[in-house]
């Protein structure tokens, strides 16, 4: 058996040495060390070896197995080095490296984060609420009459349950006043939904940023100063801002806010950017009724609210002509923000 073991080892080492690739090397391993390999079968016959010879034969088997295993590992390393060199053959290491594409935040994310940072510096805290709302929080509490166009099914997404996709983030203002007593100073960024025909300036889902400040002696100059500061921080210190009288059910007096947009090669023009006003006392009364107390007594507290579209802010900031570019995920458009 000793001669047989030595012959198997010699033949195995020769096969390993001659292996040209990892597949032929694995074939050599299986032929010797596999379940039906030559060395495995010989090892199974050690039970028939006389007792006095078993130790010597066992040592010879172990030595053969160790030598063959070491040769297999060494050959595998050598074959992989050869394969690596072959893979690199012909590569010109002096060629310049390929440029890596750097990603960026979406323009809506950029404008939202910057707007939040500005308002937080002014003492506004972040607030959030559900996107699926009921009519009380979306309309009734905001002094919106039953026949208002926004409550029509042609303008708003309703569910069979009677709930709806919120048409503005003003519902977050209502929920905040229900759960907190004044003073309150919050901003509510988030999605809103309306049944608008999709075109260059309208989407059925858009992004809003609304704010609310309620306390004692909150005045119209507070509102004006807050929004002028915010818009000049966002668009530049020389930005011209104007307030035009308007109507909203939930504020009185109410205003539209415009900024003067200057585009190279074009005459400056005023662009509507936001709505705002002093909170209507009827809103405070609805909140008190919901809370079942008089925390928002219109005789003691006042407040202002404002709202603007983040999509519109982004379009003005970067001169984007078509709002659909903000949702199409066209890399050719988005890469300019990298």
How would you class 131 by CB atoms within 10 Å of its CB: exposed for 0-12, middle for 13-18, buried for 19 or more? middle
89, two tokens: 């053959």
Straight-line distance from the first to the last Cα atom of the chain, in angstroms, rounded to the nearest whole number: 74
Distance CA 6, CA 25 (A): 20
Q: Count Cα neighbours of 112 within 13 Å in the Cβ-side half-sphere.
A: 19
What's the Cα-to-Cα distance from 172 to each of 13, 66, 152, 158, 159, rounded to whole Å?
Answer: 78, 74, 21, 18, 20
Residue 226 burial (CB count, 10 A): 20
Overall size of the chain counted in residues = 338
Q: Count Cα neighbours of 65 within 13 Å in the Cβ-side half-sphere.
A: 15
Q: Annotation-wise, does 131 bind a ligand?
A: no
Eight-class DSSP state of 243:
E
Dihedral over Cα of 89, 91, 94, 99: its sign? negative
Element spanning 93, H or E: none
Element spanning 193, H or E: strand 184-193
Closest CA to 273 of 259, 292, 293: 259
> DSSP readout, 140-154?
GGGT--TT-GGGSTT
> Alpha-carbon Rg of the chain, whole angstroms?
38
Count the helices and strands in the chain (H runs, E runs). Answer: 11, 9
Enumerate the known binding-site residues: 252
Annotated binding site for Mg(2+): 252
């Amino acid at each position: 058996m000793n001669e047989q073991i030595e012959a198997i080892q010699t033949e195995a080492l020769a096969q390993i040495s001659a292996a040209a690739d990892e597949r032929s090397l694995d074939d050599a391993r299986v032929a010797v060390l596999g379940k039906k390999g030559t060395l495995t079968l010989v090892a199974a016959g050690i039970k028939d070896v006389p007792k006095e010879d078993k130790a010597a034969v066992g040592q010879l088997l172990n030595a053969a197995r160790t030598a063959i295993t070491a040769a297999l590992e060494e050959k595998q390393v050598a074959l992989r080095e050869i394969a690596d060199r072959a893979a690199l053959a012909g590569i010109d290491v002096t060629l310049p490296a390929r440029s890596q594409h750097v990603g960026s935040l979406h323009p809506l994310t950029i404008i939202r984060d910057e707007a939040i940072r500005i308002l937080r510096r002014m003492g506004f805290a972040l607030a959030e609420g559900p996107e699926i709302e009921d009519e009380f929080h979306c309309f009734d509490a905001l002094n919106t009459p039953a026949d208002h166009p926004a409550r029509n099914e042609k303008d708003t997404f309703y569910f069979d349950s009677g709930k709806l996709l919120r048409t503005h983030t003003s519902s977050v203002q209502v929920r905040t006043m229900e759960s907190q007593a004044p003073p309150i100073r919050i901003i509510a960024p988030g999605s809103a939904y309306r049944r608008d025909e999709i075109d260059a300036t309208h989407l059925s889902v858009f992004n809003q940023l609304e704010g609310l400040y309620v306390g004692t002696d909150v005045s119209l100059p507070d509102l004006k100063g807050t929004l002028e500061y915010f818009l000049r921080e966002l668009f530049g210190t020389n930005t011209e801002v104007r307030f035009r009288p308007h109507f909203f059910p939930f504020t009185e007096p109410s205003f539209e806010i415009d900024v003067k947009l200057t585009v190279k090669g074009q005459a400056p023009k005023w662009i509507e950017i936001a709505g705002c006003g002093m909170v209507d006392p009827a809103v405070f009364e609805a909140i008190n009724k919901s809370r079942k107390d008089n925390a928002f007594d219109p005789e003691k507290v006042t407040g202002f609210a404002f709202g603007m579209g983040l999509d519109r802010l982004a379009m003005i900031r970067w001169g984007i002509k078509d709002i659909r570019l903000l949702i199409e995920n066209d890399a050719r458009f988005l890469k300019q923000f990298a």
